[in-house]
Each structure stands twice: as C-alpha cells, then as structure tokens.
Amino acid sequence: VSVRVPGHPDLFVVKGRGYRADALPAMRPEDMVVVDMDGVWVDGPKNVVPCFEVKIHSCILRDRPDVNSVVHVHPKYSVLLSVLQRQIQPMCQEGAKLVLDPIPVYQHQKIVTTEAEGAELAQVLGNSPAAMLFGHGTVTVGSSVEESVTRILQLEYAAKMNYYALSALGPDYPSISDVLVDEMSGRTPLSELPHFAEPIRKAAGQPRVGGVWQWYTQQVSADL
C-alpha cells in the first residue's frame, strides 16, 4: 500500500525492502520509506530500499493526479482467474460496481521493476480503479488508503465468487445484470427516508458509515 505525503503530492510513503524481518506482518510505521515520483528513496530507515515494484506506485501516481493511494497484492482468486482468462463478473452486492466494466489485464507475469514496465502498467490501468497482472496479482487505486484497500478486498471477494460459480456451473454461469447493478445509483439518501429521518435528526447528522474500515484499522492498531 502506498499513499501520497499530505502537502507533498510529488512524494509518497510505501513499504521498503531489506529489513531484518522482511514480511508485511512485521512492518511498523517507522519502517516505511518516503519515495519520489521517480521511485527514488528520499527518507526512511538506512540500508533499506523502496519495495522492488516501486515503479507500480510511482508511475501510477504520476499519471493519475486523482489517485492518492495505490495497492498491489497477490490475491489467489484474482491471480487464478487472470490465468484462466476469466473476466470477473458482478456476482454479489459487494464490489458489483467495481467489476461492472471489464478489469484491464497487464499481460505479463514478471515483476514490475523498470520505468518502462511501470509506465506500461499505468497505461493499461488508464482511468480504471483496478487492473489485474496476468498470473501475478492485482492493483487498485483510490483517493485514500481506505478506498484503495476496500477496492482490493472487494475485487478479491468478487473473484472468489466467480471461481465458485465457475466450479459449480462451468464457464457459462450467470451474473448480475448491468440494470440490477445500476439500481444502487441515484437512490434516495437515508436521511430522507421516513423511517430514518427522525432518528437521524435527533443524532444531528448522517448515520455513521465506514464501520468495516474502522474494524480493520483497529485490528492493525492492536497488532502494532
């Protein structure tokens, strides 16, 4: 996961490589490194380099000023479907809009380490919120860490549901139609619904949302 440094959009924070314990569960805030848009180390622990695929982050952040956070991981169901060349279809409410349009695929399994490779991946991503790397992993972007991480979780859940459907019915399994997915757009705000209006008025604001994200961040904080 990477995120732009607040007030310095030409810098971002990301995990490095070269620690004594080089594993995600061992990472602590002080272990992160600050990197520029060329993928060059600016600040952080000594004798530690940026993550090997830093060009994924730097090239996307440079090409997408609307993006503040990038995630690159290797989730098993998404990787499997990329090799099976199966487009992830809407199969559940979670992430349905994310996969409504085809997720672009970077047709290489190699790790992305050069400027040319990072630029090619950024071009494949285009204006999409997500991209798949063939037999390698996935990338999602967002205006915040919450959005980019939530998208990667939803994408992998959608991939898992597609794998289940493929296993159950074969390649011609049904999916949720565009019309049904679009029903989630332009709905009446909760505060205007009669059964919510009065409780919300008494609470002096909109109902609290983002509880799932709060749960994840609490778990991470407890681990720290």
Give the model confidence (pLDDT) of 152-169 as tens digits.
Answer: 999 999 999 999 999 999
Q: Amino acid identity, residue 86?
A: R
CB 125 within 8 A of CB 141: yes
Which tokens in the block code for residue 168?
């159950």
Per-chain mean pLDDT for the chain: 92
Question: 65 vs 193, which has greater pLDDT?
Answer: 65
Which tokens in the block code for residue 44?
């952080």
At residue 47, the pLDDT reads 87
Angle between helix 145-169 and helix 211-223 axes, rounded to 10 deg: 100
* Beta pairing, strands 69-73 & 33-36: unpaired
Q: Is it the case that residue 136 has pLDDT exceeding 80? A: yes
At residue 210, the pLDDT reads 63
At 3 the three-state DSSP class reads strand
pLDDT for 73-97, tens place per residue? 999 999 999 999 999 999 999 999 9
At residue 205, the pLDDT reads 63
Q: Using alpha carbons, list the distances in angstroms from residue 77 to 5, 53, 200.
A: 32, 21, 40
57 pLDDT band, cuts 50/70/90, is very high
At 36 the three-state DSSP class reads strand
Sheet of 8-14, strands arranged across: 41-43, 33-36, 8-14, 2-5, 69-73, 137-142, 130-133, 105-106
